[in-house]
Amino acid sequence: MVTGWSQNVGEVVRRGGWAKDALIVRWLRNIAVVLVSVVLALALAFFAFPPPIDRIEAAGSVLVTARDGTPLRAFADERGVWRFSVRLEDVAPAYVDTLLAYEDRWFFRHPGVNPLALLRALWQATLSGEVVSGGSTLTMQVSRMLEPIPRTLPGKLKQIWRALQLEVRFSKRELLEIYVNLAPFGGTIEGVQAASFAYLGKPAAHLSDAEAALLVVLPQAPSRWRPDRHPQRAQNARNKVIARMVALNHWSLQRAQDAKLEIVAARRLVPPMLAPLLAERLRRNGGEVVRSTIDARLQTRVEDLVRSQLRRLPSRNSIAVQVIDTTNMETLVYVGSADLYDSDRAGHVDMVRAARSPGSTLKPMLYGMALDAGLIHSQSLLIDAPQSFSGYQPSNFMERYQGPVSASQALRLSLNVPAVDLLERVGVVRFAAALENAGLELRLAADAVPNLSLILGGGATSLEELIGAYAAFARSGLAAKPRLRPGDPLIERYLLSPGSAWIVRQMLLRDPSDHFSARVFDGASRVALAWKTGTSYGFRDSWAIAVSPEHVIGVWIGRPDGTPQPGQYGAVTALPLLASVADSLPHRVHRPAMPQEVRSTRICWPLGHEQQRTAPEHCHRTLDAYALGAVPNTFADRDSDRWQPQKLKIWRHGRYRLNRSCLRPDAEVIEIARWPTLAQPWLSTALGERSALPPLHPSCASDELSTGIRIHGLSDGMLLRNPGNRRGPIVSQLQLLGSRGTVRWLSNDRLVGQTTGMAAMEIRFEADGDYRLVAIDESGAWSAIGVRVVGVDD
């Protein structure tokens, strides 16, 4: 064998073949080295120079939606592009199926490049002399979306290269999702979700067959086929896709015919703009799609009502409205300002959150705390008359006073003096602390401390915090923070007992059939509402807040800059809008059951006792009341050294009252139920006589029950007339003889001025009519006269 092998070698050498074969081997080795180097270089380049994916990872636009997905407001990204990320499963299947069938049938089978499609495109270009189709797969189109690639032969090679890289880096599903989110749809619109909202007004999950076909073809020529500018071109292009789906046997002929019936209408691109200030607030929470609790239908309706109301308001006014669902505290309506783009009305300022003086809107919480403290029941006798509380002298709207009123009446009429009286008894610090614990913080001026003015708007809070506190009246005394997103936690805080919350709601309850509600609500509200209005000092803020079993509605109207607006107040300005909003809400006609701790009873005035525990002669007036536990008595007189116990025992002989200076053996002891001193000027003649003391016997010495004050300057029953040659107001100078300290003068229940001691008071009679003049000194002693004026109006 060795010999044979040597012979073969020798033969090769003789023929010169050994050198030739060696050369071939070297060539082959060199080619192999080059190929390996190229492969290694390509591999290195493949992984060392990956495709740019910044756009995939970049944050897109932010879309804030209503609870049902309806867009509220969209915010473009930093490049000014509208793109809303969407998952593949949240896109209508019709769109995905049509996209794959029309653009890339072999998407799930090729490695990113379809050679047959490229050859077909080359053949078509050769025959026609122009580019008919690009032969690009969806992956190749994605590569062009990620970076600018020129439409040249080198550009096509780069596109193929990038497509292969993308196929290695991403799964087919991921690539399809990238396309869905980055595809161009004209102008600054990217992605099928943004295009669906912009052109069709709906999310991509709800696309019909025709709409899916339109959005599949649109990226091929987004400027030429934009449906908002060229609807007929867009429809022709869409029909081309529909025909292709039939030709590929993906759609039946009937399905295609049904799709073609839909017209591509020219729709102006108007960005969604519902609850814009809420959207601005929520976008900061992060995420590209932020779902809110807003009810889009109600929001639209209320914004229409706000625009209508705005036309009736002075310039520079704004409006804020918030509506919550009391069952879960979700915010259904949020109007932060009247017009976002109206700079004259400071439309960019969110008045739902702005700190403003609440006026009288805190009074229901105060009455609830007074109920829980056992100070009052729903019909407790309170006094609305000029009073001083350690130097603080509150007055009512229009300076008019009602005299003796029930707690319910005082709350409904928003009387200031009874509220300040209650606050002093409840405690200012306790009241403010209870509100703050419940989520309603009262902001005070620098270095200020809580004081009695809090109940009249002496602090500042927001509509949102007021809404949360008022929810306690529908939620068994639990206040809660309004929720803006479905995932927000429910934060509840104790404010009132279930019993007091229920009673206060009954005190505020207005039935649509009563005269005032019928006039203000104009038959609009279909459900009885418990509502309260408020007006801040100087007519700067008008409030109206209502509670039903299902909702809390809050309305604020005013100027954001705090400029006073005389004549604008809660009952006139804010309440009509609240009534219209209430009528827009769905209601279940029912009333919550009375809590077990509440009992209904009949009480007597002036003592405040239950009727069954009161002697008939001491029961001057009966009222049906709600109480928690024991029924509290009427408050004793405040700051009066002339008053005696409410049930006063005296000696009487005949028609006279006796005292120790003139006591007789045959005198009888009687007991008289007295009305509070400050209530007496307002009592009817019959009630006054039942409560009056008999005159002191002439032989008796004056005592503490005697009063010697009287009005001097006019006499009771006097007729005042201008002389025949004179017109205009009649002016009289009056004094309260025997008085001490500050004297307050009232004309027909309206405060007209005050004097000190027996100083003169000028009273002006501006019109004909009957006038009742009352003077009350700081001890509670009073005197009243009636006069008639004629000849002023002639």
User: What is the rounded average pLDDT of the residues 298-315?
Assistant: 94
- pLDDT tens for 380-395 read 999 998 888 887 888 8
What pLDDT score does 80 carry?
Answer: 80
3-class DSSP state for residue 82? Answer: strand
Tell me: pLDDT of 16 over 90.
no
Element (H, E) at 577: helix 575-584
41 sits in which H/E element: helix 17-48
Q: Give the pLDDT band (50/70/90) at residue 272.
A: confident
Residues with Cβ within 8 Å of 109's Cβ and at least 6 positions away in sequence, in order, are none
pLDDT of 420 strictly over 90: yes
Higher pLDDT, 23 or 87: 87
For residue 139, what pLDDT is reported?
85
Distance from the first to the final alpha carbon of the chain:
156
Residue 303: half-sphere exposure toward Cβ, Cα within 13 Å: 21
pLDDT tier, 527 (very low <50, low <70, confident <90, very high otherwise): low
Residue 643 confidence (pLDDT) above 70: no
Q: Which of 454, 463, 456, 459 is nearest to 443 (CA)?
A: 459
CB-based contacts of 548: which residues, under 8 Å, 6+ apart?
474, 527, 528, 529, 530, 582, 585, 587
Sorting pLDDT into bands at 50, 70 and 90, what band is 783? Answer: confident
446 burial (CB, 10 Å; 0-12 / 13-18 / 19+) is exposed
Round to whole Å and give the CA distance between 508 and 529.
8
**Backbone CA torsion sign across 400, 406, 410, 416:** positive
Q: Give the range among 213-227, 525-539, 695-709 with minimum mean pLDDT.
A: 695-709
- What pTM, to 2 d.p., does this model score? 0.80
Choice between 674 and 21, residue whose per-residue pLDDT is larger: 674
Residue 709 has pLDDT above 50, yes or no: yes
Residue 711 has pLDDT above 70, yes or no: yes
The secondary structure of 117-180 as a DSSP string is HHHHHHHHHHHHSS-S-----HHHHHHHHHS---SSHHHHHHHHHHHHHHHHHS-HHHHHHHHH
Q: What is the pLDDT of residue 481?
A: 97
Flag whether pLDDT at 464 surpasses 70: yes
User: Would you tell me how many other CB atoms lie within 10 Å of the CB of residue 791?
Assistant: 16
> Residue 627 and residue 374: Cα distance in Å, rounded?
9
Q: What is the predicted pLDDT for the residue at 132?
A: 45
With pLDDT > 70 as the criterion, what percentage of the chain qualifies?
A: 86
Highest mean pLDDT among 194-208, 677-691, 695-709: 194-208
Return d(Cα 491, Cα 484) in angstroms, integer: 12
Of 270-279, 473-482, 736-745, give the lowest mean pLDDT range. 736-745
Cβ(677)–Cβ(403) under 8 Å?
no
- Residue whose token pair is 């005042």: 720
- Looking at 398-407, 431-440, 726-735, which range is the least confident one? 726-735
The full 3-state SS of 581-641, as one line of letters, equals HHHHCCCCCCCCCCCCCEEEEEEEECCCCEHHHCCHHHCCEEEEEEEECCCCCCCCCCCCC
HEC profile for 237-251?
HHHHHHHHHHHCCCC
110-163 pLDDT tens trace: 887 877 666 665 655 555 555 445 568 888 888 888 878 777 777 777 778 788
Q: Which residues contact 606 (CB under 8 A, 6 or more apart)?
A: 381, 404, 620, 621, 634, 646, 673, 674, 675, 676, 679, 691
More confident residue, 29 or 453: 453
The pLDDT, as a whole number, for residue 18 is 54
What pairing do the DSSP bridges indicate for beta strands 718-721 and 782-790?
A: parallel
**Span of 208-217, 369-378, 442-451, 620-629 with lowest mean pLDDT:** 442-451
Name 12's Cβ contacts closer than 8 Å, sequence gap at least 6.
18, 21
Q: What is the pLDDT of residue 1?
A: 44
Q: What share of the chain is helix, strand, coil (3-state, %, to 5)?
A: 35, 20, 40
Residues recognised as catalytic: 103, 360
**362 has a pLDDT exceeding 70:** yes
| Residue 571: other Cβ atoms inside 10 A | 18
**For residue 633, what pLDDT is reported?**
93
Distance, C-alpha 326 to centroid of its chain: 13
Closest C-alpha to 536, from 576, 566, 510, 504:
566
Residue 105: predicted pLDDT: 86
Strand partners, 389: 392
Tens of pLDDT, residue by residue over 567-577, are 888 889 999 99
For 205-226, write each residue's pLDDT tens digit: 999 999 999 999 999 999 899 9
What pLDDT is recorded for position 188?
Answer: 85
Rounded CA gap, 495 and 615, in Å?
A: 38
The mean of the pLDDT values for the chain is: 85
